[in-house]
Amino acid sequence: MFKKLIVPALLAAVTALPSGAARAADDPDFLTLAVGKFDILRNREEDAEIRLDYRFGNKFWIFKPFLTAAYATNNSSFIGAGVLVDIYLGRRFVLTPQFSPTYWRGATSNLDLGHELEFRSRLELAYRFDDRSRLGISIDHSSNAGLGDGNPGVESVMLNYSMSMDRIKRMFK
């Protein structure tokens, strides 16, 4: 299901570029904190996940780079970097497909993702406040793309809050 959503979202990003470019031109760097449920589809692990992303405001064509780190309460962790696309749906809503290769650590008796290199795909829908902070929900899918002997994959659903780094810096002045 998630893989079927990412291709249309990326196509929408390309077609929405001219209208969304002006709204995105002044987007700052963001720090995103996300919390949610790890392994939502198969429930092999009943765990929570927390994620921290640093999203850069600079664009390379339509893509923005980001850094990501996540921890699940089963002692799994992901760290990586990737790209995202902000698709502005009017003034208030932002659809953000993301992709990041990550280093994964943490096989358990119930869950082994099959390889240390995992590819995380994410689709986020967020509400954009006047101060440009965002509150949204996302679904993630991690897979090793067949690099390992097995490729079970894992999904997470997360509640995300993104705050501009400008605002964070002002808090510490």
Which CATH number covers residue 92?
A: 2.40.160.20
Among the ranges given (52-56, 74-78, 85-89, 97-101), the one the predictor scored with the smallest mean pLDDT? 74-78
Q: Can you tell me whether residue 4 is helix, strand or coil?
A: helix
pLDDT at 110: 64
Max Cα distance, the chain (Å): 51
Instruction: Report the number of distinct structural domains present in the chain.
Output: 1
Provide φ and ψ at 43, rounded to 5°: 55, 40
Q: Span 73-78, mean pLDDT?
A: 88
pLDDT at 65: 97
pLDDT at 39: 83
Residue-number span of the structural domain to which 159 is assigned: 2-171
Q: How much helix, strand and coil, in percent to the nearest 5, is found in the chain?
A: 15, 50, 30
Between 105 and 10, the higher pLDDT residue: 105
Q: What is the pLDDT of residues 8-25, one digit of tens each?
A: 544 444 444 444 444 455
pLDDT at 109: 61
Q: What is the pLDDT of residues 110-166, one digit of tens each?
A: 677 778 888 999 999 999 999 999 999 999 998 888 887 777 778 899 999 999 998
Q: Span 73-96, mean pLDDT?
A: 94
Tokens of 12: 């929408």
Closest CA to 36 of 122, 98, 113: 122
Provide φ and ψ at 52, rounded to 5°: -130, 125
Q: Span 43-61, mean pLDDT?
A: 90
pLDDT at 108: 62
Q: How large a percentage of the chain has pLDDT more than 70? A: 82
pLDDT at 57: 93
The distance of Cα 87 from the centroid of its chain, to the nearest Å, equals 14
